[in-house]
Amino acid sequence: MTTTILLLIVGLALLLAGANFLVDAAIAIAQRAKISNFIIGIAVVGIGTSLPELFVSVASAAQGMGDMAVGNVVGSNICNIFLILGVTAIITPFAVTRQNMARDIPFGILVSVLLLLLCSDTLFPRITQNEVGRMDGIVLLLIFAGYMALAVMHSHKEAKSREENEENATSRLAGKPALLTWAIAIVSLVALLYGGNLFLDNTVTLARQWGASDKVISLTIVAVGTSLPELVTCIIAAMKKAPQLALGNVLGSNIFNILGILGVSSLVKPLVLTGINIFDFGVMILASILTFVCAFTFKRRAIDRHEGIIFVAIYIAYITSTIIFS
């Protein structure tokens, strides 16, 4: 048990150090390239921290486990919004920009609904099985490429906007050579992902030693553990006054999870679904919708502590209901 606890501490240290330097590097890259923190949050942090989900879903698809591949994405997206955005808002409330409201959040809602439709083939006449096929995967990847191209095209304008400048984000790597900054970003991302995996593995081992059941472990520790890189990165980004980086991380992860991860996974092998849970899809869509609604409640165009508490409470209720009714 001593070795397990020691490795757990090492994993946590790697998580914190990796996230800390990754956020510094991301801010420095955004400032040097004169693009918004939100875009860096999507393109570098969001996609980078979603690599574990990519590996899991692709491996599941290759083994013919379509439900696992899609369930991994749905569960991750629910956790990203309700738990990660919720905790981040409780620590540091953050603004939602006009661009987020006009483009990014509605797009997240759209792709969530699109995933539900792609996974519901049996609703249409003469179709007997639910499947995300290779053609679906190509469409998903093309949509993702189009979204990223549009976001990057508008990124310079967003970086100069008053809303972005109000963040006053600072970085210890500001002014450092570009090559060094990118190298630190990559090394930090590797440390973040490895630390998260090490922390998760040893937490599961410790829980088993304390007598927790596999069902409880999988639905609680594993569900939250696989999102630890995003969670720690968002918290540190918020503390460094870069909340748009945190928001970009979450929205970018969710969009990439659906369009990128399932797009690639379905190209490896069509994702045949046998146990679609409409409730889980509904919660995922609800999470995206509530992110938009929060811009108009309490403090306008912001996600504040009240909403953060509500988000976390919803996540706890969701996990509890999943454990009870699974």
Please give the sequence-ordered ranges of beta strands (E in DSSP) within the chain, or none if there are none: 94-95, 130-132, 271-273, 302-303
In the chain, the largest separation of any two C-alpha atoms, in whole Å, equals 61
Could you tell me the pLDDT band of residue 217, with boundaries at 50, 70 and 90? low
Which residues, 6+ apart, have CB-to-CB distance to 196 below 8 Å?
11, 15, 52, 225, 226, 228, 229, 232
Residue 192 has pLDDT above 90, yes or no: no
Residue 138 has pLDDT above 90, yes or no: yes
Which residues, 6+ apart, have CB-to-CB distance to 119 below 8 Å?
70, 130, 132, 273, 276, 281
User: What's the pLDDT score for residue 163?
Assistant: 46
User: What's the pLDDT score for residue 111?
Assistant: 94
Could you tell me the pLDDT band of residue 123, with boundaries at 50, 70 and 90? low
> Which pLDDT tens digit goes with each residue over 53-105?
777 778 778 888 777 788 878 888 998 899 989 988 888 887 787 777 888 88
pTM comes to 0.80
Mean pLDDT of 5-11: 78
Across 105-119, 182-196, 285-299, the highest mean pLDDT is recorded for 105-119
Considering only residues 5 and 180, tell me which one the structure prediction assigns the higher pLDDT: 180
- How much is the CA Rg of the chain, to the nearest whole Å? 19
Buried-exposed string 149-187: b where 16+ CB fall within 10 A, e elsewhere: eebeeebeebbeeebbeebebebebeeeeeeebeebbee
Show the tokens assigned to 224.
């939250």
d(CA 281, CA 113): 8
> Which pLDDT tens digit goes with each residue over 251-266?
888 998 899 989 999 9
d(CA 164, CA 94): 11
Contact 52, 259 (CB under 8 A): no
**Percent of the chain having pLDDT more than 70?**
82
> Which pLDDT tens digit goes with each residue over 23-49?
778 777 777 777 776 777 777 777 777
Q: Residue 221's closest CA among 66, 61, 74, 79?
A: 79
